[in-house]
Structure 1
Amino acid sequence: MSRQTDLNTMLNDIAGDLDGFLGASVVDLDTGMSLASISRMNNFDLDVASAYNSEMVKAKFKTIAALNLDSGLEDMLLTLSDQLHLIRMLSNTEFIYVAVSRQGTNLAMLRSVVNRYVNALQN
């Protein structure tokens, strides 16, 4: 299978396994462009989310460098009153972004599902 097919399959599988799934995208960090995306909400613009999330990840990398930390960035969590947003690094140049409803799932389930499919993609 092609990389694009693998990414689309991963996002569809994540969407199917998470109750309360809102949207997800795989993002190129340098450009902020979505490489693949899926949304369950018409007004949830993943291209906009991808671009802004890319800037957040870049800022976190700058913070890590400024603090001379030897640790690598694994993931970032944003909690809203009714949603959870998880950014999980796939490599130094790509990340996956997943948004879910807090009523539909919890943080442990979100991380578990995302990690399972990311690990399968990377192996």
Structure 2
Amino acid sequence: MSNLDVSMKDMMAIDGAIGAAVVDYNSGMALGTMGSSKSLDLQVASAGNTEVMRAKMRTMESLGIKDDIEDILITLNGQYHVIRPVTGRKGKGLFLYLAMDRGRANLALARHQLKGIEENLSV
């Protein structure tokens, strides 16, 4: 089993997870997806969140912010969506995307678990 497969399974093991992806934000292509929700098209979500990631990076550059993005959180009435850039050199240009059911998720714990998954990911 590849490191990518293990990372995807670890993401889906987070309480409340309904969909997960590892995405290349240069191309917008998902390298891997896993999910249990028919209402969440992970390919479309991956491409759309690539635009979110690119926009935030451009904005930070325009503002002269020299910090790194830890994660981007999008809250909906019934879901949390977390975008976490991969910072290790083995995963540069990638981000983790996790969609969770808001009623079953613990956001703080999920962010902590995503950090560990991101640190161990190598593609």
Report if TM-score (shorter chain) is over 0.5.
Answer: yes
* Unmatched runs of 5 consecutive residues or more in structure 1: none
CA RMSD of aligned residues (A): 1.3
Counterparts of residues 1-123 of structure 1 (less than 5 Å): 5-16=2-13, 18-91=14-87, 92-121=92-121
How far off is 1:121 after superposition?
2.4
* Unmatched runs of 5 consecutive residues or more in structure 2: none
How far off is 1:120 after superposition?
2.4
Kept in 1, the 8 Å contact 2:73–2:82? The answer is yes
Q: TM-score, normalised by structure 1?
A: 0.89
Q: Which moved more, 1:42-51 or 1:112-121?
A: 112-121
**Counterparts of 2:77 and 2:110, CA distance in 1:** 16
**Counterparts of 2:32 and 2:51, CA distance in 1:** 18
What SS is found at the alignment partner of 2:81?
Answer: strand
Kept in 2, the 8 Å contact 1:25–1:46? The answer is yes
1:82 partner letter: G
2:47 partner letter: A
What is the number of residues matched between the two proteins? Answer: 118
**Counterparts of 1:67 and 1:121, CA distance in 2:** 30
Kept in 2, the 8 Å contact 1:8–1:37? The answer is no
Large movers: runs of 4+ above 6 Å: none
**Counterparts of 1:70 and 1:121, CA distance in 2:** 24
